[in-house]
């Protein structure tokens, strides 16, 4: 399943790297932006649940000397592939790193609490690693990116409900 | 899973150092009727009376029906009038007295009221602050004589206490008393694992900005950094001979199982999957490892030879199954069973593959067997707080231990200690 999603991501990057991110439709990421790649993502067997509405305003801005503002990438339950709705965010960061060779980031993977602490640590690491792979595809160098997982240990929201869990299934791109 | 007994609440508020409220539900199928007379002289001692420690230990197993002595107070075998104790199979009597130099002497006897003879006796002198430890030792002896299984009351448990952003790695007596903080950090601590001789605990700490594996001596508090590769280093577990550990590293990409010597040298990779492999746990013979993997599309329990090779899937029920640990006799494994959004503690027989859910469900995680295999310790939640709980390995008797502060997570039962 994950291999399928990863190959879809590659297609998406080739096809839609310049697409503007639509921010108002992410509640259903699988049915989100009407790009060819997003439709492909909708056909994947990922058990997609709701994802939170992102707050960044200028994620689609072209890469320049200013680091992108949108830093969080959200994931469905037990899924580690970057979803269509967040690819533009990652792409923008990757292009920024490509143009700013001295810039470095840390990608922090997180998971919701439904799993064991160790499984969630591993899941958060896969999420961070997958973001790193996309950053490299967008032109960043591996040496610019450190990945770390906090698993379920540093939740943004601590309640036992989907509204919280969706915020905690997240990778953050942090400037170093 | 029928629950015969009523809920028993043991509130130890009498002690100024009370740390726990213990709640017991259920009862064993065949309870031994036992009476315990308050030990002579114990009212002069500081802290919880020793007979209370013994009573609570025995009650928690669900295997004993405690019968009120109803005013009778023999302290020596010659004082016991057997005809006065109808329906009582075993009687515990004893006394405590202070010696010079802050020491105490405890003498106790277990009387067989059916055969009208003494089953076992013990006389111990120790420092007065070790009275609780003596109580656990007495309870172990009684348990062993009356059930034929070794008692685990003198063993210790480890867990993580989280209070807002403060994390403490804690070692405590099996009843949750006598907390000792081994490590306090403002970063997460995870996955404590006892060395087989009980002298060290390996664990995961985030103090270096990411998950690294340490081992720490309980006696000297000295720490050894065992794995600190880029990415995550986690899920340490000791081999039965204590010479090596299995752990999970992401140094080659995904979370995979590795073996390492107990000094951190001679790293060897065991699994080679494209998925998550984590939570290794040695079987008692040291020849294979249980672990959690999502290689089949969802997190399930697998077994792999310790030298590597093909892995065998063991769990098929429920959406996901996590955190497997074997029983001390190697016949069963216990794990956290996730179905319809609820975590249960379940046990599965290696041979016939039968699984049994032991608990009622909740946020029940990280089960581990007591070293006698009779109880399972796990983390759960009560009123929004992480707490310790135990369930007997047949699911009949349940116990919750509510700490006064913080959330308790990641518990693990320690080994038998050398006498």
The pLDDT tens digits of the residues spanning B113-151 come to: 999 999 999 999 999 889 999 999 999 999 999 999 999
Residues with Cβ within 8 Å of residue B270, at least 6 apart in sequence: B246, B256, B257, B258, B259, B280, B289, B304, B306, B307, B308
Say what the pTM is. 0.84
At residue B244, what are phi and psi to the nearest 5 degrees? -140, 165
Which chain A residue lies closest to B255 (C-alpha atoms)?
A122
d(CA B172, CA B324): 23
Q: Which residues of B252-291 are buried (b: 16+ CB within 10 A; e: fewer)?
A: eebbbbbbbebeeeeeeebbebebbbbbbbbbeeeebbbb
Determine the length of chain B: 419
Q: Which domains does chain B have, with CATH numbers?
A: 31-147 (3.40.50.10070), 156-413 (2.120.10.30)
Which chain A residue lies closest to B322 (C-alpha atoms)?
A116
A2, A7, A118, best to mutate vs chain B, most B CBs in 10 Å? A118
CB B303 within 8 A of CB B290: yes
Determine the length of chain A: 176
Sort out which chain A residues have CB atoms less than 8 A from B233's CB and list them: none
- Partner-chain residue, chosen from B209, B275, B338, that has the shortest CB–CB distance to A148: B209
**Are B188 and A122 an interchain contact pair (Cβ–Cβ within 8 Å)?**
no
- Encode chain B (419 residues) as per-residue pLDDT tens digits: 333 343 444 433 333 344 556 677 777 778 899 999 999 999 888 878 899 999 999 988 888 999 999 999 999 999 999 999 999 999 999 999 999 999 999 999 999 999 999 999 999 999 988 999 999 999 999 999 999 999 999 999 999 999 989 999 999 999 888 899 999 999 999 999 999 999 999 999 999 999 999 999 999 999 999 999 999 999 999 999 999 999 999 999 999 999 999 999 999 999 999 999 999 999 999 999 999 999 999 999 999 999 999 999 999 998 999 999 999 999 999 999 999 999 999 999 999 999 999 999 999 999 999 999 999 999 999 988 999 999 999 898 898 987 778 999 999 999 998 75
**Are A122 and B298 an interchain contact pair (Cβ–Cβ within 8 Å)?**
no
Fold of the CATH domain A2-175:
60s Ribosomal Protein L30; Chain: A; (3.30.1330)
**Which pLDDT belongs to residue B22?**
66
By the CB < 8 Å criterion, does A147 face chain B? Answer: yes
Mean pLDDT by 10 residues, chain A (176 residues): 42 37 36 35 40 45 65 96 95 97 97 97 98 98 97 94 97 95
Sort out which chain B residues have CB atoms less than 8 A from A122's CB and list them: 232, 234, 248, 250, 254-255, 276, 278
CA angle A48, B361, B416 (to 5 degrees): 120
Query: How many interchain CB pairs under 8 A, A with B?
Result: 98
CA angle B262, B265, B269 (to 5 degrees): 95
**Are A153 and B279 an interchain contact pair (Cβ–Cβ within 8 Å)?**
no
ipTM of this predicted structure: 0.91
**Residues facing B173 on adjacent strands:** B156
Which chain A residue lies closest to B210 (C-alpha atoms)?
A148
Sort out which chain B residues have CB atoms less than 8 A from A1's CB and list them: 297
B164, B189, B232, best to mutate vs chain A, most A CBs in 10 Å? B232
Sort out which chain B residues have CB atoms less than 8 A from A171's CB and list them: none
Residue B209 distance to chain A (closest CA, Å):
8
What are the domain boundaries of chain A? 2-175
């Amino acid at each position: 399943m994950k291999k399928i999603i990863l190959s879809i991501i590659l297609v998406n990057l080739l096809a839609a790297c310049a697409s503007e991110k639509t921010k108002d439709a992410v509640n259903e990421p699988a049915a989100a932006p009407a790009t060819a790649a997003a439709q492909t993502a909708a056909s994947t067997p990922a058990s997609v649940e709701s994802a939170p509405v992102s707050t960044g305003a200028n994620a689609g801005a072209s890469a320049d000397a200013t680091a992108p503002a949108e830093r969080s990438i959200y994931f469905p339950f037990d899924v580690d592939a970057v979803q269509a709705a967040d690819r533009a965010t990652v792409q923008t960061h990757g292009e920024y790193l490509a143009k700013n060779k001295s810039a470095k980031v840390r990608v922090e993977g997180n998971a919701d609490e439904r799993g064991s602490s160790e499984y969630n640590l591993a899941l958060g690491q896969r999420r961070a690693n997958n973001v790193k792979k996309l950053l490299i595809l967008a032109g960043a160098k591996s040496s610019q990116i450190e990945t770390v997982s906090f698993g379920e240990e540093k939740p943004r929201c601590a309640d036992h409900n989907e509204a919280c869990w969706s915020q905690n299934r997240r990778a953050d791109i942090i400037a170093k | 899973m029928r629950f015969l007994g009523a809920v028993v609440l043991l509130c130890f508020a009498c002690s100024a150092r009370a740390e726990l409220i213990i709640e017991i539900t259920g009862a064993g199928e065949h309870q031994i009727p036992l009476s315990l007379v308050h030990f002579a002289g114990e009212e002069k001692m500081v802290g919880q009376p020793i007979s209370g420690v013994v009573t609570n230990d025995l009650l928690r197993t669900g295997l004993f029906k405690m019968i009120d002595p109803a005013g009778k107070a023999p302290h020596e075998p010659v004082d016991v009038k057997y005809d006065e104790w109808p329906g009582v199979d075993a009687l515990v009597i004893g006394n405590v007295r202070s010696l010079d130099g802050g020491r105490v002497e405890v003498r106790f006897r277990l009387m067989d009221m059916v055969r009208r003879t003494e089953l076992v006796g013990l006389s111990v002198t120790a420092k007065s602050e070790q009275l609780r430890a003596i109580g656990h030792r007495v309870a172990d002896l009684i348990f062993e004589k009356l059930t034929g299984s070794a008692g685990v009351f003198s063993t210790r448990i480890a867990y993580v206490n989280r209070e807002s952003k403060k994390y403490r790695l804690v070692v405590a007596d099996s009843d949750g008393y006598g907390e000792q903080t081994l490590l306090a950090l403002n970063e997460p601590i995870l996955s404590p694992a006892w060395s087989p001789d009980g002298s060290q605990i390996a664990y995961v700490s985030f103090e270096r900005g990411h998950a690294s594996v340490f081992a720490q001596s309980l006696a000297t508090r000295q720490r050894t950094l065992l794995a600190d590769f880029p990415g995550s280093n986690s899920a340490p577990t000791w081999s039965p001979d204590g010479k090596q550990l299995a752990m999970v590293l992401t140094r080659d990409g995904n979370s995979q199982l590795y073996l390492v010597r107990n000094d951190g040298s001679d790293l060897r990779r065991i699994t080679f999957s494209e998925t998550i492999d984590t939570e290794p746990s040695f079987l008692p013979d040291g020849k294979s490892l249980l672990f959690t993997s999502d290689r089949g599309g969802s997190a399930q329990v697998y077994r792999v030879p310790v030298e590597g090779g093909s892995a065998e899937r063991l769990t098929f029920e429920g959406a996901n199954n996590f955190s497997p640990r074997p029983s001390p006799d190697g016949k069963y494994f216990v794990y956290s069973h996730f179905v319809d959004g609820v975590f249960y503690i379940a046990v599965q027989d290696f041979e016939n593959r039968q699984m049994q859910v032991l608990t009622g469900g909740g946020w029940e995680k990280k089960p581990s067997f007591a070293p006698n295999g009779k109880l399972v310790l796990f983390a759960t939640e009560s009123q929004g707080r992480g707490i310790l709980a135990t369930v007997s390995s047949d699911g009949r008797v349940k116990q919750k231990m509510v700490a006064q502060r913080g959330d308790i997570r990641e518990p693990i039962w320690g080994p038998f200690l050398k006498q």
